[in-house]
């Protein structure tokens, strides 16, 4: 099945004489471990909704569904289609030369251009509560405690460092205000395939107080409903002071999965400053053959 998706793109599975086809549009996970595999299904008939026996008007109306299912759920829901006495079923697909997940053209995959770099802009003052964490020992930042948050939803996975405590500058800070700042960075615009949403939005909160910086909380948002997934890794590292204020680096690596044309990789590098400002640099670090960054 994974080989077919790679070669042909989405698969239309139809029972001859049946009223509709089920589309298998993506697969993600370790194919050697079925328990870790998820598949993306587009079904015009939502088998999860019960309805009455009226042959004309179904109550409630059936809207179909598009969702990621574990391989176990997929096999349980559709495995009977492979039975010898079930019916004459067929798998339909596009020609191999035209099978592309995001566009049907010879231009290949088009990657959304990275946003312009951000240089020390002030942000709104907001914060979010903490989450359950697994300790990282020793901490990479002296005088703080670090942990890692792991999670997943659908075809998206994340491993996000967290930091409790603040790093102070090596020398006395020279800042315009001693007031503490709670800063939020919402990463929901990139990386993305051109024309699509970013698969997994991420929010980062940090504190700045008279030149010190820390209390970093990184959280994954709700994955977008796409036929592919992404793995996000966020790492917190120490950095040299910047003009008398402390600084920390946060590197977010994004690895796409489930794309028939190949899976690109992207990086967002953030430098958080002790005066409440931050810098952001975005880049594609790996591109499939034939992929191009949109202008």
Reported as a pLDDT band with limits 50, 70 and 90, residue 106 is very low
- pLDDT of 248 higher than 70: yes
Put the strands of the sheet holding 38-43 in their side by side order: 65-70, 38-43, 21-28, 11-15, 89-92
Among candidates 254, 166, 197, 199, which has minimal Cα distance to 68? 199
* Distance in angstroms (rounded) separating the CA atoms of residues 160 and 158: 6
pLDDT tops 50 at residue 226 = yes
Place of tokens 């792991």: 150
Say if residue 100's pLDDT is above 50. Answer: no
- Check if the beta carbon of residue 49 is closer than 8 Å to that of residue 36: no
183 contacts: CB under 8 Å, gap ≥ 6: 123, 124, 125, 126, 205, 206, 207, 208, 272, 276, 278
Residue 173: the pLDDT is 54
Domain chopping of the chain, boundaries: 2-98, 110-293
Query: What's residue 122's pLDDT?
Result: 42
The pLDDT of residue 276: 93
Say what the pLDDT of residue 81 is. 65
Residues in Cβ contact with 35 at an 8 Å cutoff, skipping those fewer than 6 apart: 70, 71, 72
∠ CA(63), CA(260), CA(266), 5° rounding? Answer: 100
For residue 132, CA distances in Å to 139, 142, 168, 182, 215 come to: 17, 22, 26, 20, 15
Q: How large a percentage of the chain has pLDDT more than 90? A: 37
pLDDT band at 191 (very low <50, low <70, confident <90, very high): very high
Rounded average pLDDT over 228-257: 95
CB 201 within 8 A of CB 267: no
Arithmetic mean of pLDDT, 139-146: 94
pTM: 0.60
Q: Which of 58-62, 170-174, 285-289 has the highest mean pLDDT?
A: 285-289
- Tokens 């239309």 -> residue: 12
Greater pLDDT, 261 or 18: 261
Helix, strand and coil percent figures for the chain, each rounded to 5: 10, 45, 45
Question: Tokens representing 241?
Answer: 């002071």
**Helix (H) or strand (E) segment spanning residue 4:** helix 2-8
Total residue length of the chain: 295
Strands 156-167, 229-242: pairing is parallel
Checking if the pLDDT of 2 tops 80, the result is no
Would you say residue 125 has pLDDT above 80?
no
Average pLDDT over residues 113-130: 50
The structure tokens listed for 1 are 């099945």
Residue 50 neighbours by CB under 8 Å, 6+ apart: none
pLDDT over 50 at 63, yes or no: yes
Per-residue pLDDT at 112: 67
pLDDT of residue 116: 64
pLDDT tens, position by position, 11-43: 767 765 566 678 887 777 777 777 777 787 878
- What is the distance between the alpha carbons of residues 39 and 184, in angstroms, rounded to a whole number? 34
* 224 vs 201: CA distance, rounded Å: 8
Give 129's pLDDT tier (boundaries 50, 70, 90). Answer: very low
Neighbours of 176 (CB within 10 A): 7
- Mean pLDDT computed over every residue of the chain: 79
117 confidence band (pLDDT: 50, 70, 90): low
Please report which confidence band the pLDDT of residue 102 belongs to, taking 50, 70 and 90 as the band edges.
very low
Helix and strand tally (H, E) in the chain?
2, 18
């Amino acid at each position: 099945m994974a080989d077919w998706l790679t070669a042909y793109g989405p698969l239309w599975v139809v029972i001859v004489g049946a009223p509709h086809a089920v589309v298998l549009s993506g697969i993600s996970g370790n194919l050697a471990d079925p328990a870790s595999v998820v598949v993306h299904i587009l079904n015009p008939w939502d088998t999860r909704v019960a309805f009455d026996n009226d042959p004309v008007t179904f109550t409630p109306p059936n809207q179909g569904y598009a969702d990621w299912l574990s391989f176990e759920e997929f096999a349980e829901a559709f495995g009977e289609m492979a039975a010898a006495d079930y019916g004459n079923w067929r798998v339909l697909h596009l020609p191999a030369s035209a099978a592309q997940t995001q566009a049907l053209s010879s231009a290949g995959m088009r990657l959304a251009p990275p946003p312009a770099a951000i240089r020390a802009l002030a942000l709104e003052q907001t914060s979010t509560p903490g989450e359950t964490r697994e300790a990282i020992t020793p901490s990479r930042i002296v005088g703080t405690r670090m942990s890692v948050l792991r999670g997943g939803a659908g075809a998206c996975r994340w491993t996000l460092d967290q930091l409790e405590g603040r790093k102070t500058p090596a020398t006395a800070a020279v800042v315009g205000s001693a007031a503490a700042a709670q800063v939020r960075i919402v990463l929901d615009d990139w990386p993305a395939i051109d024309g699509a949403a970013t698969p997994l939005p991420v929010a980062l909160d940090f504190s700045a107080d008279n030149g010190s910086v820390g209390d970093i909380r990184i959280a994954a948002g709700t994955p977008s409903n796409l036929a592919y997934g992404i793995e996000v890794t966020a790492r917190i590292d120490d950095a040299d002071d910047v003009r008398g204020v402390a600084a920390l680096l946060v590197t977010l690596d994004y690895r796409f999965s489930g794309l028939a044309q190949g899976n690109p990789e992207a990086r967002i590098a953030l430098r958080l400053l002790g005066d409440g400002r931050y810098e952001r640099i975005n880049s594609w670090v790996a591109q499939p053959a034939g992929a191009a960054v949109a202008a």
